[in-house]
Amino acid sequence: MSKHNFKPVDSSRVSISQLMQPSHSNFGGKIHGGYILSLMDQIAFACASKHSEAYCVTASVDTVDFLNPIEIGELVTMKASVNYVGRTSMVVGIRVESENIQTGTVKHCNSSYFTMVAKDDNGKTVDVPGLILNDKTEVKRFLKAIKRKDTKIHRQQEFSSDSFALDNYIEDLKGYKIKIELPEN
């Protein structure tokens, strides 16, 4: 366990800003989503490592919706905080904004949640400090993380179960742009 049993969310908040260069763009002239994901992974690592005081690895990434494209020459700012802690894992919430530095116009580009796991020098998981929630927003973020985790577990159980029966879902699939052509058994 870390030196501290509990740490406030503020103690591990991280923010980075970077000017978007032509080398970061895709074929459409916008900033490549993969480049933004790489920056997000770096800030998630920094935030989680700061909280846990340990090396951290990315276990999963949840909900990356690219809401607005990022242009070459814009200043991208990423803000990260620990929203949830388990025994050895943390959910880091990241908000990405871009700013046109000539007009001052700021766009929300995406928000995402990275689950990070703390490891020791031998690659074994280590316990992370608890979280001190200091305001209503921090409590709400913690509760939302619990809901996302519960939903993910329920979805995995529902669709990996031996009792899964396609017939129970056929009606749900009507209206989608699909054809179901299963082999005869």
The fold of 6-132 is Thiol Ester Dehydrase; Chain A (3.10.129)
pLDDT > 90 in the chain, percent: 84
Q: Give the whole-angstrom CA distance, residue 8 versus residue 53.
A: 14
Beta partners for 98?
76, 107
**What's the mean pLDDT in 16-35?**
96
pTM for this predicted structure: 0.89
pLDDT at 160 over 90: no
Q: Look at 76-85, 122-131, 136-145, 148-157 and tell me which has the smallest mean pLDDT.
A: 148-157
Q: Which two tokens stand for residue 7?
A: 């740490």
Domain residue ranges in the chain: 6-132
pLDDT at 63 over 90: no
